[in-house]
Amino acid sequence: MSGVFRGVVGSAALAWSVAMGVSLMAQTPALPQSLPAEAKKMKAAFPSSPAALDAGKQLYGKYCRFCHGDTGAGDSKMAPKTMQPPNLTDQTWTRGSSEGEIFWIVQHGAPPKYDMKGLKGKITDQDTWNLVHFVRSLGGVPKS
């Protein structure tokens, strides 16, 4: 092997490993293992209303129903078999049921596995709050 050839192979290998490193970094966003404490303290930007629930329902149909089911009961036949979307109409909220906690999950996804991805950048904050109000109207959140 000539020295020149070895040099070319070497720099190609270096370029490849740099590119891999960059793409691995891009694929591993710094998402936490559980919700950050401040999520719970966040308050909705506006209160629930018939208009918010209506908008939330439309968004739910578009972004959530195929996993969480028509009524939110977690019984959709279309959900990927590799995951178990929870029932959003019962009293069990593994990650919390406050406005801010649900907002965080819709934006960032469901930790720790993130089988459910977040919609940050795809929908506005206003639509995220519309979804929060709709999800909290499904019956599982205790009235305060």
CB-facing half-sphere around the CA of 42: CA atoms within 13 A: 21
Site residues, ligand HEC (CB under 6 A): 63-64, 67-68, 79-80, 83-86, 88, 92-95, 102, 105-106, 110, 113, 115-116, 119, 131, 135
Distance separating alpha carbons of residues 133 and 103, to the nearest angstrom: 9
Query: Considering the complex, what minimum distance in angstroms separates the CB of residue 30 from ligand HEC?
Result: 18
Evaluate whether 137 touches 48 at the Cβ level (below 8 Å): yes
CB nearer to ligand HEC: pick between 5 and 98: 98
Distance separating alpha carbons of residues 37 and 95, to the nearest angstrom: 11
Query: Considering the complex, what minimum distance in angstroms separates the CB of residue 37 from ligand HEC?
Result: 16
Sequence-distant (≥ 6) Cβ neighbours of residue 44 within 8 angstroms: 99, 103, 129, 132, 133
Task: Please give the structure tokens belonging to residue 59.
Answer: 């968004």
CB nearer to ligand HEC: pick between 21 and 32: 32
Task: Please give the structure tokens belonging to residue 71.
Answer: 């009524």
CB nearer to ligand HEC: pick between 10 and 112: 112
Query: Considering the complex, what minimum distance in angstroms separates the CB of residue 47 from ligand HEC?
Result: 18
CB nearer to ligand HEC: pick between 2 and 92: 92
Query: Considering the complex, what minimum distance in angstroms separates the CB of residue 68 from ligand HEC?
Result: 5
Distance separating alpha carbons of residues 117 and 130, to the nearest angstrom: 18
Query: Considering the complex, what minimum distance in angstroms separates the CB of residue 104 from ligand HEC?
Result: 9
